[in-house]
């Protein structure tokens, strides 16, 4: 009996539709967020993440409506983010039905944002998203959707984010994202051992073995993927059965 | 049977409401003392900081009507912080008084495990439970907390272990409470809410 490793599908949206693409310019429509949310809820997903990757001000009302519609489908926790810059932005997504808020670029620019959200909603509701890229002997933090270096060491930023009140880290390997070569084990284990909060590994998943590896060797508490679930390359139910057979504790759907 | 949900400004009230809607049950969210006094069944949701809940109960003058209702035998279900506030106090905000229905204090989970305790975990059944009736033993429930009723785990009908063994399900007369989030725990969580409705009816 112990805490189950979580499998988390992620919906990247342009506000109203799920989009995907190996680079920002090549986005294509990948479906209706509400239909996907209902499917993942039924398939045994442990949580769902919805990100507004466009994060533009004029599309914000559409994104909030998407959160409302998605939340209505779920009997599992919902994390939402993308473009959260202020406490008021955080309140809006929580009011729309999110249980947790992710922050990224704005938290790098103003770490107090983490403390403000944590004080209001509790640490369990604040997820610090870190996009990390290998740079010599360390990992550099990238911001603005992975387009710009923040000139921060990822390990140091993770520790600082936790000390400001983040209750979880959503760690994306920019090197692996979109490659389907597997999660970044060395990055994930380094961050997971450096902080006292759960770490969600993201970027590079394709095969069931990639998930087994990130839980066994990468010390990940949860693993996130998007397109392999949307496109039906990997079913959550079968993935969990595979992991369970490998002796990895997961919540098997009834 | 209408469930009155205490909406004190924090906590994830909408998801609790939606969970009852899915069960076809009526619910009413309120922060009015009068509505609490007239409630047929009461639900106190909560997530976040202990002090936010206790301060809101006092600022909105809901403490006395809530205590009266529970004393009168109105079926009560506390979720997460709604369980923790039933005790005398919590280490999370030592100067604040809880509702003091249950002896003991709420304490921090040990720091040798990752905190918050976040995700799906299993329960250990201690005795017959009506909230868990019809739910297989191995089922997982969703937890998101860093403090827990560790000292009082002996009075629980089911416990959970994460760093320490703590009270996960409490049933004493009309007082029910769960440390996990039934509104976020899939079908098993829905069954817990359904069992509460049946007990309250």
| Residues A193-211 pLDDT 10s | 999 999 999 999 999 999 9
DSSP one-letter code for A171: E
Q: Is residue B9 within 8 angstroms of chain A, CB to CB?
A: no
Give the one of B12, B115, B121 whose C-beta lies nearest to A4's C-beta. Answer: B121
Give the one of B111, B118, B185 whose C-beta lies nearest to A167's C-beta. Answer: B118
Work out the burial of residue A134: count CB atoms within 10 Å of its CB; fewer than 13 is exposed, 13-18 middle, 19 or more buried: middle
Bigger pLDDT: B83 vs B13: B83
Q: Is residue B124 within 8 angstroms of chain A, CB to CB?
A: yes
**Testing the interface with A: which of B55, B116, B122 to mutate, by most A Cβ within 10 A?**
B116
Q: Cβ A6–B186 below 8 Å, yes or no?
A: no
3-state secondary structure of A90: helix
Q: Cβ B115–A196 below 8 Å, yes or no?
A: yes
CA distance A142 to A117: 22
Residue A155 tokens, joined: 């390990």
Q: Which residue of B has its CA nearest to A44?
A: B186
- Three-state SS sequence of B72-84: CCCCEEEECHHHH
Strands A6-13 and A48-52: parallel
Asked about B181 being catalytic, the answer comes back as yes
The answer to whether residues A234 and A228 touch, using CB atoms and an 8 Å cutoff, is yes
Which residues contact residue B173 at a Cβ distance below 8 angstroms, ignoring those fewer than 6 apart? B73
Phi, psi of A143 (to 5 degrees): -130, 180
Domain boundaries, given as residue ranges, for chain B: 2-200
Closest C-alpha to A33, from A47, A16, A48, A54: A16
> Helical H runs in A44-111?
60-73, 87-96, 105-109
User: What's the pLDDT score for residue A24?
Assistant: 47
Strands B102-108 and B87-90: parallel
- The whole-model pTM stands at 0.95
The shortest C-alpha distance from B148 to chain A (Å) reads 14
What is B74-134 written as a DSSP string?
A: --EEEETHHHHTTEEEEGGGTTS----SEEEEEEEPPTTS-SSEEEEEE-EE-S--STTTT
Q: Cβ A75–B118 below 8 Å, yes or no?
A: no
Q: What CATH superfamily is the domain A6-245?
A: Aldolase class I (3.20.20.70)
User: What's the pLDDT score for residue A146?
Assistant: 86
| Residues B134-183 pLDDT 10s | 999 999 999 999 999 999 888 899 999 999 999 999 999 999 999 999 99
The fraction of chain A above a pLDDT of 90, given in percent, is: 82
CATH for B2-200 is 3.40.50.880
Q: Which residue of B has its CA nearest to A48?
A: B184
Give the one of B114, B136, B186 whose C-beta lies nearest to A221's C-beta. Answer: B114
**Testing the interface with A: which of B22, B114, B139 to mutate, by most A Cβ within 10 A?**
B114
The shortest C-alpha distance from B10 to chain A (Å) reads 7
Q: Cβ A168–B49 below 8 Å, yes or no?
A: no
User: What's the pLDDT score for residue A254?
Assistant: 61
Q: Which residue of A has its CA nearest to B145?
A: A124
3-state secondary structure of B70: helix
Asked about B17 being catalytic, the answer comes back as no
Give the one of B116, B119, B184 whose C-beta lies nearest to A75's C-beta. Answer: B184
Q: How far is CA A201 from CA A7, A171, A176, in A?
A: 10, 5, 11
Residue B162 tokens, joined: 């994460």
Q: Is residue B142 within 8 angstroms of chain A, CB to CB?
A: yes
Q: Is residue B184 within 8 angstroms of chain A, CB to CB?
A: yes
Handedness of CA A254, B1, B2, B3 (dihedral sign): negative
Residue A97 tokens, joined: 């039905």
Predicted interface score ipTM higher than 0.90 = yes
The shortest C-alpha distance from B103 to chain A (Å) reads 25
CB–CB contacts below 8 A, A to B: 96
The shortest C-alpha distance from B166 to chain A (Å) reads 13
The answer to whether residues A130 and A157 touch, using CB atoms and an 8 Å cutoff, is yes
Q: What is the mean pLDDT of chain B?
A: 95
Asked about B49 being catalytic, the answer comes back as no
Domain boundaries, given as residue ranges, for chain A: 6-245
Instruction: Give pLDDT < 70 ranges for chain A.
Output: 1, 21-28, 254
Q: Which residue of B has its CA nearest to A198?
A: B114
User: What's the pLDDT score for residue B155?
Assistant: 87
Overall average pLDDT of the B28-49 stretch: 94
Which residues on chain B are in Cβ contact (under 8 Å) with A124?
Answer: 47-48, 116, 118, 144-146
3-state secondary structure of B159: strand
A33-43 and A60-73 are packed helices; what angle lies between their axes, rounded to 10 degrees? 30
Q: Which residue of B has its CA nearest to A195?
A: B114
Residue A253 tokens, joined: 């759907």
Q: Of the listed B80, B117, B145, B171, which one is catalytic?
A: B80
User: What's the pLDDT score for residue A133?
Assistant: 97
User: What's the pLDDT score for residue B106?
Assistant: 97
User: What's the pLDDT score for residue A194?
Assistant: 97
| Residues B57-66 pLDDT 10s | 999 999 999 9
Bigger pLDDT: B166 vs B49: B166
**Testing the interface with A: which of B13, B116, B118 to mutate, by most A Cβ within 10 A?**
B118
CA distance A64 to A55: 11
CA distance A199 to A219: 8
User: What's the pLDDT score for residue A201?
Assistant: 98
User: What's the pLDDT score for residue B47?
Assistant: 80
Closest C-alpha to A82, from A144, A155, A20, A29: A144
Closest C-alpha to B149, from B194, B179, B176: B179
């Amino acid at each position: 009996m112990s805490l189950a490793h979580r499998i988390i599908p992620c919906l990247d949206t342009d506000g109203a539709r799920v989009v995907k693409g190996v680079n920002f310019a090549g986005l294509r429509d990948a479906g209706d967020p509400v239909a996907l949310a209902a499917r993942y809820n039924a398939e045994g997903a442990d949580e769902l993440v919805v990100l507004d990757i466009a994060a533009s001000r004029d599309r914000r009302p559409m994104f909030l409506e998407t959160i409302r519609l998605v939340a209505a489908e779920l009997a599992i926790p919902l994390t939402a983010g993308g473009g959260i810059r202020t406490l008021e932005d955080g309140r809006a997504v929580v009011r729309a039905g999110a249980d947790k808020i992710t922050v990224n670029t704005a938290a790098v620019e103003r770490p107090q944002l983490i403390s403000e959200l944590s004080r209001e909603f509790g640490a369990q509701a604040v997820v610090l998203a870190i996009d990390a890229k290998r740079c010599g002997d360390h990992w550099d933090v990238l911001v603005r959707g992975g387009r710009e270096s923040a000139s921060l060491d990822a390990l140091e930023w993770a520790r600082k984010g936790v000390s400001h009140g983040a209750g979880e880290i959503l760690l994306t390997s920019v090197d692996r994202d979109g490659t389907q070569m597997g999660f970044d084990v060395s990055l994930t284990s380094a961050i997971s051992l450096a902080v006292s909060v759960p770490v969600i590994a993201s970027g590079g998943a394709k095969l069931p073995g990639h998930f087994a590896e990130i839980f066994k060797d990468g010390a990940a508490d949860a693993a996130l993927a998007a397109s392999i679930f949307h496109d039906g390359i990997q079913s959550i139910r079968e993935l969990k059965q595979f992991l369970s057979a490998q002796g990895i504790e997961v919540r098997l759907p009834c | 049977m209408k469930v009155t949900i205490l909406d004190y400004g924090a906590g994830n009230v909408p998801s609790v409401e939606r969970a009852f809607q899915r069960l076809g049950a009526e619910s009413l969210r309120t922060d009015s003392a009068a509505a609490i006094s007239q409630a047929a069944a009461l639900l106190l949701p909560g997530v976040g900081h202990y002090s936010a809940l206790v301060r809101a109960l006092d600022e909105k003058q809901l403490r006395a009507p809530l205590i009266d209702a529970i004393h009168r035998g109105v079926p009560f279900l506390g979720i997460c912080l709604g369980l923790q506030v039933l005790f005398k106090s919590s280490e999370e905000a030592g100067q604040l008084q809880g509702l003091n229905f249950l002896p003991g204090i709420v304490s921090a989970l040990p720091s040798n495990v990752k905190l918050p305790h976040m995700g799906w975990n299993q329960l250990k059944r201690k005795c017959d439970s009506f909230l868990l009736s019809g739910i297989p033993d191995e089922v997982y429930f969703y937890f998101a907390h860093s403090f827990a009723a560790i000292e009082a785990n002996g009075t629980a009908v089911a416990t959970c272990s994460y760093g320490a063994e703590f009270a996960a399900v409490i049933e004493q007369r009309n007082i029910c409470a769960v440390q996990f989030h039934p509104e976020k725990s899939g079908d098993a969580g829905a069954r817990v809410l359904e069992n509460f409705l049946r007990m309250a009816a």
